[in-house]
Chains A and B, each alone.
Chain A
Amino acid sequence: MSLALGACTSTSVVPVPPAPQTARQAVYLAEIAYAAALQVAISYNRLPRCTAATPAVAGAKIGCSDTAVVAALRAADRDVQAALPAAVAAAGTMSASDTRFVAVLGAVSNAVKALQAILSNHGLTEATLG
């Protein structure tokens, strides 16, 4: 299954990830997914906090960060960080078909999805962050 390559902007290109073949590869790719979401969260956090004098959205770019959204992102990030070590450890000792591995990988996946959901709900992408 290939991803559509976006050529709308000079830098908006989605690389085609390989299908993982092992437990270690699955965790590593999950970590990549987390890294992508985390970088967007960091870019948002770097923005000055919104105030009454600072518009929440400046044109097509988001010009400031909401304190509550940042707090939610940090909480979601802590959940991912809490789930990752078990998945990393499991990948070194279990096969991808081991139900215990599936469980810990599922925990990471759910935590990353929760982080992604916050970003999506607020329209936060590398393209929209000023």
Chain B
Amino acid sequence: MGNALALTLELLQVALAAAQLGVEIANIVQPAIAKVKAAQAAGVDLTDQDLADQLAALRAQSAELSIDPGASST
């Protein structure tokens, strides 16, 4: 059990440090981390719906990456 969970924690720690969080990313990350902490404090697990909602949000976010900005100056 330890390996998979430790892997995820390490991944997140690296991601957060590498991103050099500003307000924009903090606004995304901090509520999500708070949600996990709240579940752990309550002694409950996240739900399948929690994961599904997060996945849907990430798909929408990912779609933004496919959008080209306005034409660059020529």
Binding site for B on A (CB under 8 A): 3, 6, 9, 11-15, 17-43, 45-51, 53-54, 64-65, 73-74, 77, 80-81, 84-85, 88, 91-92, 95-97, 101-102, 105-106, 109, 112-113, 116, 119-120, 125-128
Question: Which of chain B's residues have a CB closer than 8 A to the CB of A92?
Answer: 48, 51
Q: For the complex, would chain B's binding face be called helix, strand, loop or mixed by DSSP majority? A: helix
Chain B residues within CB distance 8 Å of chain A: 1, 3-9, 11-26, 28-30, 32-33, 35-37, 39-40, 45-48, 50-52, 54-55, 57-59, 61-62, 64-70, 72-74
Interface of A is mostly: helix
CB contacts between A and B, total, < 8 Å: 213
Question: A116–B9 contact, CB under 8 A?
Answer: no
